[in-house]
Structure 1
Amino acid sequence: MEIEFVRSRFIKHFDGSTGSVYASPGRINLIGEHTDYNGGFVFPGAIDKGMVAELKINGTNKVRAYSIDLKDYVEFGLNEEDAPRASWARYIFGVCREIIKRGGKIAGFNTAFAGDVPLGAGMSSSAALESTYAYALNDMFDCGIDKFELAKIGQATEHNYCGVNCGIMDQFASVFGKAGHLIRLDCRSLEYQYFPFNPEGYRLVLLDSVVKHELASSAYNDRRRSCENVVAAIQKRHPHVEFLRDANMDMLNEVKGEITAEDYMRAEYVIGEIQRVLDVCDALECGDYETVGKKMYETHYGMSKLYEVSCEELDFLNDIAKECGVTGSRVMGGGFGGCTINLVKNELYDHFVETAKMRYKEKYGRLPKVYDVVISDGARKLC
């Protein structure tokens, strides 16, 4: 997203003056799905697509906000009863309110923003928007809030103003992102560690199936319940087990006769996935991208056959990746649609993308969308 583009719209809508420009990225998650609510690890990285916003203090107690992409303008105050109706503006309003709740002093400002994070593709455009404004307002109004709290402000905005009970991963990756590194985040302790991700000779590409099946929210709740059922069964023998993260396959097999076959499969996937995140971290420290790819395929199999959150279209894209010799491929995100994330050798890239597009169109009558991503820096001031 070009600074000049956002600035030109800001100047047009706000009397020819200029302010300060900030940006935050979307994110990918290389491996570690459905591990967050099981106390495990996730492994995200910030990407080279995100949100860019220009802001300038306006001397009033009103926020004047313009969404460049939606061509929509909204004004709102900073008190709880001033919540705007437009859903996009609630993200900005929520960030303002969450900063105020933490003792930050915020006054009115003018702002315009735009983004190039594809909507609905699982790259967290909403977290990019929240992180942009959390970082910008903290900087402009000198609130003294640390980066961890900025990520929590984004999460609290989702919970309290946008009706989404999300975890911390998306906002965390958007704030803490670092070029050339992925971040292993421990979802229980919130400790984190950077790991090098410099896949020379490889590219990361997302293939968007352009489908979203309606099962997602009810299926998500069912799977959480399965995990809780298994933990409850294991706890009777091993009281220290608080999450599936604390369990192993031996413990799971001990209770096999006391839980349903479905609950067993769900737990088998989660226990395996938590270990795969650790295995991928070890592989990256050795520069072993072939092992990384192998673990990605294992994750896809687990999400498709054990956790059952894939769908026909994503399995089809995963099969094509295998046939084309792609190093690693898996469904990314909660499942039931969205993207596959693929680690592809440079020399196979063109053939893979063309084959996937052609075969997918033949089967489903539409093209998948293709997004190349590069691991990049987190929230920052641009000028």
Structure 2
Amino acid sequence: MTLSAAELSAAFTARFGREPAGIWSAPGRVNLIGEHTDYNDGFVLPFAINRSTLVAAAPRRDRTARVYSSLGDGGSASADLNGISAGSITGWAAYPLGVLWAFGERGTRIPGMDLYIDSDVPVGAGLSSSAALECAVATMANDLADAGLTGPELAELGRRAENRMVGAPTGIMDQSASLLGEEGHAVFLDCRSLESRLVPLDLAANGLTLLVIDTRVSHEHSTGGYASRRASCERGARAMGVPALRDLTDADLAEAARTLDDETFRRVRHVVTENARVLAAVDLLQEQGPAALGPLLNASHASMRDDFEISCPELDLAVEAARGAGALGARMTGGGFGGSAITLVKTDDAASVAGAVLGAFTAAGYTEPALFPVLPASGAGRVEG
């Protein structure tokens, strides 16, 4: 964490002239497998990571929300909670203020408040820094208003903020992982029913490390690539006569190939096969353990590269270099068009795999990536106060 809880509390006091009522935290996430399946009513298998966003906050007597972020180009912003409407806030402040707006949209009155935000979740790296921020704010507002909303209800508020205030057509996976995660486990989520259960993912006990390779190629979910993929999936579902691509299986792909144009078919094929890979991964984790996941990670990356076309040269090189150095498996993770790859390695091989990736990027003339291990961590909650 960039600031400790004590340092954040002091920074809040220096900024707003009073002590915070508490400090709340929410983690970023790695999606182990299941990419672009969430908004297709499908299955995902993310886990909360040991990198988080912290929010120090205190209620106000009026309906003003003032927010300060120490991150990047953040700075300060404010809004009258009585006057916010969908799309009325732009830039980074749309995420925290959008969550506060979403509470009001569902009929839950929250007080005005002062917020101070800090985080060590990389922005634009595909680790869902946006959901970490949304879920930290949602958990905080839920507590300060004594609203009593559940984790799944808070996840829906985060998604609503991202969809309608930010304008990013994302699903509910990221918020669910940030809110529902538990140490040593992944979250198996059915994005149609919103039912979830924890699946064991104890990497250290199995002598494994999951390395994140942040390519430093930044991506934005609110730009056109993500939206066009979602539109393709919706066209494919309509053409196939199903409510969502979740309702298709491998057995339907032959008909889909005859019915759809080539590009739409490939988008559909990715979602159908990715859903199957998620289910297979859950079975493998329960029956054999995480070391067996390598082939599924590799197949997932190939599908995202060739069928969904959301990879980029830096991601492909990261995956290829890691595999070439002995990784058990690797894939890009997140929405694509940049961001991060993950690679599953034996802990004894982690240093050599990392070195191979760095060397490959240097040889290709790419910006040096950031590599760091992550562990499954607990979800959002109050950490102080």
- TM-score, normalised by the number of residues in structure 1: 0.91
1:77 aligns with 2:80: yes
Check the 8 A contact 1:80/1:97 in 2, yes or no.
no
Distance 1:288 1:223 in 2: 32
1:272 aligns with 2:273: yes
> Hey, what does 1:238 align to over in structure 2?
none
SS at match of 2:217: strand
Residues 213-222 or 103-112, more deviating? 213-222
Distance 2:163 2:271 in 1: 25
Residues 338-347 or 307-316, more deviating? 307-316
Check the 8 A contact 1:234/1:252 in 2, yes or no.
no
SS at match of 2:107: coil
Distance 1:293 1:368 in 2: 22
CA shift for structure 1 position 103: 3.0
> Hey, what does 1:7 align to over in structure 2?
9
CA shift for structure 1 position 216: 9.2
Percentage of matched positions with identical amino acids = 35
CA shift for structure 1 position 77: 2.1
Deviations 1:19-67 (A, max 9, x none): 2111111111000112123321011111111211111223333223222
> Hey, what does 2:329 align to over in structure 1?
328
> Hey, what does 1:190 align to over in structure 2?
194
Distance 1:215 1:114 in 2: 21
> Hey, what does 1:257 align to over in structure 2?
258
Distance 1:86 1:259 in 2: 37
Distance 2:88 2:246 in 1: 40
Check the 8 A contact 2:221/2:335 in 1, yes or no.
no
Q: Aligned match of 1:168 in 168, 172, 177?
A: 172
> Hey, what does 1:152 align to over in structure 2?
156
Deviations 1:318-364 (A, max 9, x none): 11111111011001122222111111111100011111112211212
CA shift for structure 1 position 214: 9.1
- TM-score, normalised by the number of residues in structure 2: 0.90
Q: How many residues align?
A: 378
CA shift for structure 1 position 188: 1.6
Deviations 1:268-314 (A, max 9, x none): 32221111100100111124323211100011111112222222221
> Hey, what does 1:304 align to over in structure 2?
305
CA shift for structure 1 position 172: 1.3
> Hey, what does 1:208 align to over in structure 2?
214
SS at match of 2:330: strand
1:56 aligns with 2:58: yes
CA RMSD of aligned residues (A): 2.4
Larger Rg: 1
> Hey, what does 1:362 align to over in structure 2?
363
Distance 1:122 1:362 in 2: 24
Counterpart of 1:75, as a letter, is S
Residue 106 and residue 230 in structure 1: after superposition, are their counterparts in 2 closer, same or farther (change >3 A)?
closer
Residues 325-334 or 209-218, more deviating? 209-218
Check the 8 A contact 2:169/2:227 in 1, yes or no.
no
Residues 90-99 or 45-54, more deviating? 90-99
Distance 2:366 2:10 in 1: 39
SS at match of 1:203: strand
> Hey, what does 1:29 align to over in structure 2?
31
Check the 8 A contact 1:292/1:328 in 2, yes or no.
yes
> Hey, what does 1:315 align to over in structure 2?
316
Residue 11 and residue 309 in structure 1: after superposition, are their counterparts in 2 closer, same or farther (change >3 A)?
same
Deviations 1:220-274 (A, max 9, x none): 4444454445444543xxxxx4333222233221353333333333333222111
Distance 1:276 1:367 in 2: 31
Residues 206-215 or 249-258, more deviating? 206-215
Check the 8 A contact 2:25/2:380 in 1, yes or no.
yes
Distance 1:183 1:210 in 2: 26
SS at match of 1:30: strand
